[in-house]
Amino acid sequence: MDGGVTKVLVSGGGGFVMANFIRHWLEADPKHQVVALDASPLDDAARAYLAAVTDRLQFITADVTAPETWAKLPGDFDCVVHGAAITPHAFTDKDGKRHEPERENPVRVLNANIMGTALALDWARGLKGLKRFVYISTGSVYADTVPEQEKNFFPLPEDGYLGPTALYDVSKYSSELIALRFKQLYDLDLAIVRLSSVFGPMDRQTPARGTKNLCNYVTNAAAQGRALTADSDRAVGDYVYAPDVADGICRLLLAPRAALKHDVYNLAQGETSSVRDLVALAAKYAPGFTLEIVPAAKAEMQTVPDRQTGKWAAYDISRAAKDLGWRPRALGANMADYIAWLRNNKEAQGRL
């Protein structure tokens, strides 16, 4: 990218993936700065995770759906990374109570995920020095099943195979389309990333997110030195490490405009892993770790083993490799790194 990129506005800055990006961005160059927005104040885990870089981080507690939030911001940002979103997947809290945020408050989800994005784009188009806007989307916009993959498996590409159903999926894909329309209307330098199932440091329950994926269940149990119970070991996913995602977003911010040949980029591991695979990898770094198959009603980790294609399987990451020079590190090494992090940060995240 022409010219120096230093100051970045990050929405959703106190959350899981964005906290990883902020730390990576600020550690990458002493000239880098971040202003982070989040609807909730930084919790103890985030403060600890970002402690070494807080001298170049300004944190603002504000609602991205409120026009005054954007009106009060300065206009001297080089880039915007819009990651603020409500992830309304059902979850069980620490007290054992079941929550279904999508059903309990659907308008909250739509306001945050769609109107929050529209307001961010409308504000960003007025920034005179804006070099790039990155919208953080999700592989949840892809279809649940892709019959073509059952016949002759291939990693899921960015073009086609879309099938959003839940409000989260629908709102994220709607925001993708809105972002692309803003790009056309105002000649914004804009790119979208779709993430597969992300695991890693800072994945914890927050007011905006109360869920974690199967890889997090496995690594947490392994780090705690206990057996994990599940209803099956067949369920699959594409699991990518949060620090690798952070590196991919950084590369996307810094890439020359001419290098970006596409509007949308998958950031994923690029391979399908079953629960059985994850357990085998974790056991290498946590000797004695085991998985026990039990009836679903008694399982800590409940799965949907019949989902083997579409958004649940491997994503094609060749675009990011070619245009950004990005590839994730080996899954086993990343799981080992995360297990070590969990052991050293026992209070950073608990069981959901």
Residue 160, domain CATH:
3.40.50.720
pLDDT grade for 5, boundaries at 50, 70 and 90: confident
Number of structural domains found in the chain: 1
Residues 43-83: tens digit of each pLDDT: 999 999 999 999 999 999 999 999 999 999 988 999 999 99
Given a cut of 50, whether residue 338 has pLDDT beyond it is yes
Domain containing residue 159: 7-204+240-270+310-329
Residue 55 lies in a domain: yes
Residue 343 lies in a domain: no
pLDDT grade for 101, boundaries at 50, 70 and 90: confident
pLDDT grade for 145, boundaries at 50, 70 and 90: very high
Residue 245 lies in a domain: yes
Residue 337 lies in a domain: no
Residue 104 lies in a domain: yes
The predicted model scores a pTM of: 0.94
Q: What pLDDT score was predicted for residue 351?
A: 40
Higher-confidence residue of 91 and 72: namely 72
Residue 151 lies in a domain: yes
Mean pLDDT of the chain: 94
Other Cβ atoms less than 10 A from the Cβ of 30: the count is 11
Residue 291 lies in a domain: no
Residue 246 lies in a domain: yes
Higher-confidence residue of 37 and 96: namely 37
Q: What percent of the chain has pLDDT over 90?
A: 89
Q: What pLDDT score was predicted for residue 95?
A: 74
Q: What is the average per-residue pLDDT within 103-108?
A: 93
Return the structure tokens found at 256: 């020359």
Q: What pLDDT score was predicted for residue 237?
A: 98
Q: What pLDDT score was predicted for residue 212?
A: 82
